[in-house]
Structure 1
Amino acid sequence: MLWLELHTSRGIVNFVTYYRPPTATTDSLRSLHSALGAASTSLPIIVCGDFNTPDVDWLTTSPKVKSPVVDTLCEFVCDNFFSQLVSHPTRGDNILDLLLTTNPDLISSVRVTDNLPGCDHDAIHFILSTSIPHQSTIKHQHVLYNYKAADIDDFKEVLSRVSWEVIDFENGDIELPWSQWKDLFFSAVDYVFPSVRWNKRKMKHWFSESTIKVIHRKKHLYREYKHSGNPATLRKYKSISSLVCSKCRQETASHSNLVCQQSHTNPKHFWRWINTVKGYHNPIPPLHDSGNTITKDSDKESLFNRYFCSVFTKENTSNLDSLTPESSHPTIIDLISITLEEVHAELCHLSVNKACGPDNITSFLLKMLQIIFPFLFVTYSTNHYQQVLFPFTGFQEILF
């Protein structure tokens, strides 16, 4: 067995070549099954090679003759949701060389040609698509951190080794040091916490592993029937379709009951579930202005701003006394006092269910790392007054 990772513009594709001797037992197939089970299930897999198993009906993925090897091969193909794409014999009247994949859309133009030089098997030619799909088919993915897969104490240790002294607090502007602090902080976050990508099109998160497996089996039977048109496959597909509907209804009902029970403690999750069930999105439709159709969000925003400004009442200030400032100097606040105890008290009351602010620091990190956050503040004395540099952009809405 030879395993290759193909890095393409479309992503990583696992490519496996395999040879099973004619006299080999089921151990060879089980070793292949175990190796594929250790691979990532989110990446497409292509397995090709000489399996030396002629007694398989690939229209139905069922044995022609009962034997341990044939039964193991059929089980291997079904358990991994493979599609077998070779439909013509590769040696004599038998299909011995197979092309298996978990993503048939990647492969096209499969054909069997004459014998290879010095070999009694025919050659299999196919085209592997590595191009990026059209932009309209790409769905936006959100990057999330898997907090359960890391240790908070390890994160604190990493932060304690960060060279915070490189932050420039001497220029009098808080935006620059705050940006530098975020770069250091998120570098530590990326080092400790593994990131996961959440796609809106993926399977419902409340489905159990057994239900997901049945759904994949249903999709496999559908593709198999479309390819073969076998009535037996259609009967299997109809049978498993009713099972899928039943399991999905049961688990969706159980999840909805759980969400309703937790509505008082987690209302955000409750309303997100309601909007999902209702399919409620409420986007602003295209607007019409002087015969022009406005579709871009920025243009809609400008149009609304102009409209709201036009309806405001302009006050007549001619009869009002003019207010002359007593001094041209701005008012200076001599002392701004923010203690760490006050900050920690506010952080303790944060809800981890709340969304993060504009700086993308989640409430979970703020709540769990309260001891770390004295790095956020720098206090120094200049010209008989004390000034506290505070990152208002990220924490003003939290503390005030």
Structure 2
Amino acid sequence: MRNKQEELEALAQSQCYDIIGISETWWEESCDWRAVMDGYRLFRRDRQGRRSGGEALYVTEGLDYTELSVSNNTVESLWVRLMGQANKGGVVVGVYYRPPSQDDATDELFFKELREASKSTALVLMGDFNLSDVNWEHHTADTSTSRSFLKHLDDNFLVQLLKELTRKGALLDLLLMNREGLMGELAIGGCLGHSDHEVVEFKIFGDRRKTDTKTSTLDMRRADFRLLRELVSQVPWETALEGIGVHQRWSLFKCRLLRAQEQAIPKCRKSSRLDRPAWLNRDLLLELRQKKKVYACWKQGQATREDYRDAAHLCGEKIRAAKAQLELKLASTVGDNKKGFFKYANNKRRTRDNIGSLLDENGHLTNRDIDKAEISLMLSSPLSSTLMMGSGTPVAPSWRTVAAVTINS
């Protein structure tokens, strides 16, 4: 993902995805600041001790979620539950990467995870499974490993939806669900950067719950700074601060300033909408559209693979150049534009302020802040046990959609 992150940000902004699943991120600790995307909560699992591998899930901050943990560190997977209305089970979404040389013991650990996840009445699993010998039309396979995989899919009532080949004439990337009508509008959207895997886009149908953001912030666009200056200047500071200590002076100054601020600067609720990156201009959005257009022409036989490869290369180069140019400008003008520099830097290290729904020790979901604080403290203890995935309840089909995408880098 190192040379594809900028294009991913542009794609997420233009398509407004709610969920983005990625397998084989190749991330490490040095990639922390680059992996952050404004408006998304990032879940990631990097491969420890060796290169390649790694999974990630981006979930838009407007959705309520619960991260689901598993009891082993061998299987390369991530699981998140998107909450439904009125504390219903919602949808369990997972991303998985199976290395081509994975042994049978690790496969069995994954099947155990799959059984737990399949207890939810709404499950979506995406990823790179590296099982090229499976014939999905006839539901047969050449190797015992793939036949065992098909058996476990049947045992857990899972259906594979992808029919189009996604990597050099092979169907390695799979999209699984356990309920009819849960997903639809599948589309293959070309490659990300120079990846040899296709991007898979789809929609999840269900009754989702959005987070109720109670965080408020100062609305500087409607601030009356003239009134603020007048209110501050009306305070007889010399008289008010006379004869008191430093701490009392600071408390008095802060109290009077905040009082004036309340009258001159209104507040607004913090929004979870996606803000377009400063480097993402209209020309780059047109380049993304052109790349997608050339891809469609290639699939229809109206363009060659080389035409699409050139369009993808040009698009990626322009996106990376635009971001690099912005960062160079911010760094060279930091003395005159400190606000812009630190705003950009802080967006790269920002984390979500509020905590999503959590499971208590009895397996019940809680949304109260005090309960979530107690659970968080319990989980931070070295004696705490790992949370296991629980079963869900039926989701009312109100047919609101969650746009999602799976990417193999």
Calculate the TM-score normalised by the size of structure 2: 0.31
- Give the structure with the higher percent helix: 1
Calculate the TM-score normalised by the size of structure 1: 0.31
Larger RCO (CA within 8 A; separation ≥ 6): 2
